[in-house]
Homo-oligomer: A and B are copies of this chain.
Amino acid sequence: MSRIHLNAFDMACVGHQSAGLWRHPDDQGHRYRELDYWTELARTLEDGGFDALFLADILGVYDVYGGSRDAAVTDAAQFPVNDPSLAISAMAAVTRTLGFGVTLSLTYEQPYALARRLSTLDHLTGGRVAWNIVTSYLDSAARNLGLGTQIPHDQRYEIAEEYLEVCYKLWEGSWESDAVVRDRERGVFVDPAKVHDIDHSGRYFTVPGPFLCEPSAQRTPVLFQAGASPRGVRFAAAHAEAVFVSGPTPQVVRGPVRALRAAAAEFGRDPRSIKVFTMVTPIVAETHERAVAKLAEYRKLVSTSGAFALFGGWTGVDLAGLDPDEPLRYTDTDANRSALASFTTADPDRTWTPRLLAEEIGLGGRGPLLVGDPGEVADELERWIAEADVDGFNIAYVTTPGTFADFGRLVVPELRRRGRVPDHPELGTLRERLGGAGSHLAADHPGATYRHIRATSPTSA
């Protein structure tokens, strides 16, 4: 029985992927500004058997729907949005094993500074940090961050490749493992012969110097990625240790997962070493009937315009002006067809209208709703593992922390009974918890080739 990995999927905002659900009396999303919200959530997740809390981020606002941000703002749909990295140390202080994934865009920050931020988090958490690598996709972000317009998609990945090369040199190559000696007698804290300039000079970045941080427990944080385009999949296959996918059915997800693992093998990597997380939104209760009743209660609170705002931001497709109850036709453009298909293939015979689409994605985004008692939800998770060949789940919430608390209280014990989740979380780093052989990058990972970039010292390996 393979292990099932579990991330909680959240964001430093009121409503992540559940438009309008802030109106639910139990929802605590509005407390995203409070430290207590985050420390309580972290404890809930650790007690509930989650591997990690994953924090999404955007640096813009969804303004495609109706050509305006009004719908997103009204429903606080991922706007306002705070920085995702700053509550992590408080959460780490009240937990022992929970991992923290943080989304940081490489489009707007130099690698020398970003690498230091991640290493600092890895130090403070004792090796419990993952980086979700994104190249930002929002025009509204680019306009406000000095770019004017987006960098073309494929060039973003070319930049990302070199960006990671710089990071690997900093994380893996600059400091030898025994550089910090703290020898009081000799008066040497760091042996300067074991701290190396990385001498990077490339097309997009010039970084001659040494890394500012001594090595953290994981050196390179666990690398997550979610690229779905062909270029994005190639990037993930080369670099990612965990990948986010999403789709309404295992059949939709299975193909991309197979392609990802095959591409990883082509890069000389063990295809099973990449942990694939697919998104699901569980609505669980003690009985099937109660779960169905919860779903009905939630559905009433979905904001249609808020869901359209999310959909527009994710796909670029503006549903404004359509009759909400007219069947959707995929005739206008290829982009529309592909955007809609990624949400609506759950039941190919079903007729989708904008309103039905909003109801579907307004509760947790583009993953499926898993509604039922603990056994039913566990069955569905096991079916996804088997049929889609994924390793775990990004648990999206309908209400926060309610969805996470319910899942930890009801589903995780069932998964434990089935041998899918360990009774006690593994101690150690996040990389070890996710199945890595050790705290550092695997030997077949491209980052490993940057170790000891200048192993000129006789004591280095």
Contacts and interface: CB of A to CB of B under 8 A. Distances in A.
B212 A80 contact: yes
B113 A108 contact: yes
A15 B182 CA distance: 12
Q: Give the residue among A82, A108, A145 with the most B Cβ atoms within 10 A.
A: A82
Interface in A359-382: none
B82 A113 contact: no
B109 A109 contact: yes
Nearest to A166: B144
A112 B75 contact: no
A49 interface: no
B124 A35 contact: yes
A89 interface: yes
A184 B303 CA distance: 12
A23 interface: yes
Interface residues of A, number: 75
A73 interface: yes
Contacts of A69: 192, 210
A191 B69 CA distance: 11
A19 to B, nearest CB: 10
A35 B209 contact: no
B87 A210 contact: no
Contact of A82 (B112, B119, B140): B119
Contacts of A22: 182, 189
A313 interface: no
B213 A81 contact: yes
Contacts of A263: none
13 contacts: A22-B189, A35-B93, A61-B210, A74-B192, A80-B190, A81-B212, A83-B116, A87-B124, A90-B92, A110-B145, A143-B206, A143-B209, A148-B206
